[in-house]
Each structure stands twice: as C-alpha cells, then as structure tokens.
Amino acid sequence: MIAGRSSAVFAVAFAAAYAVLYVVAIQYNLALFTYHPASEEFHFLVKPAADQPPMYWYGWMATSALGALAFAVAVAALPAPWTARIWSGWSWAVPLAAMLVFGYILRGYFIR
C-alpha cells in the first residue's frame, strides 16, 4: 500500500513537473542537446549553427524528463503524511494549462 501511494505521488509529480519544465525549457531555451539535421550532428546543450536550422525539440524533452524524474523521485520519497493530500488531478490540470500557454505563445501564427 505504501508502494502504491508512492507510485501515485510519483506519477502525479512527474506529469505536473514535466509540463512546467517543458514550458520553461522552451521559453529560456534550456535544451540538453541540439541536433543539426543537415549535418546529422548532436551537440551538448544549446548550439546554434550559422548554415542550418538547429533542432532543440529533442533536447527540450530530455531536459524536462530528467528534471521531472528528479523532482518526482524526491517528492515520492517524502513521508507519506506530507503527500497524503496531493490532488491526483494535478496530473492533467498542469499539462492542460501548459497546452493553453502554448496556444497563447504561438498565437502569432494564427492572428496575423
């Protein structure tokens, strides 16, 4: 039962943290690595190229996944009474909010 409770806390914390970190990673371009598709090269962290478009999407996901994993493991390790009242709905409410944020960030594509 304790393991089950920890799994629930981990799942909710990971979903919420990943969504927040993904938005932050994009807003501040915190990609763990950069891919240059024309030359098919990976580079650690953010590395723009003068002669080709860089791709940060993979790096943003890696940053978010690693950060969310660390956060969720830490939260799941907290004493059960501290996490007993965590709302399971954070697992969908935060990603939903992140989706709305992206709609706002990218509104320029649709209202020109």
10 Å CB burial of residue 1 (0-12, 13-18, 19+) is exposed
Minimum distance from CB of 91 to other proteins (Å)?
4
Could you say whether residue 99 binds other proteins (CB under 8 A)?
A: yes
Binding mask 51-70 for other proteins (x = CB under 8 A): -xx-x-xx-xx--xx--x--
The residues, ordered by sequence, that sit 6+ positions from 71 with a Cβ below 8 Å of its Cβ are 13, 14, 17
* CA nearest to 68, candidates 6, 5, 22: 22
Q: List binders of other proteins among 71-90 (CB under 8 A).
A: 88-89
| CB 42, CB 100: distance < 8 Å | no
Q: List binders of other proteins among 19-38 (CB under 8 A).
A: 19, 22, 26, 35, 37-38
The residues, ordered by sequence, that sit 6+ positions from 38 with a Cβ below 8 Å of its Cβ are 51, 52, 53
Which residues lie near other proteins (CB under 8 A)? 7-8, 10-12, 14-15, 18-19, 22, 26, 35, 37-38, 40, 52-53, 55, 57-58, 60-61, 64-65, 68, 88-89, 91-92, 95-96, 98-99, 102-103, 106, 108-110, 112
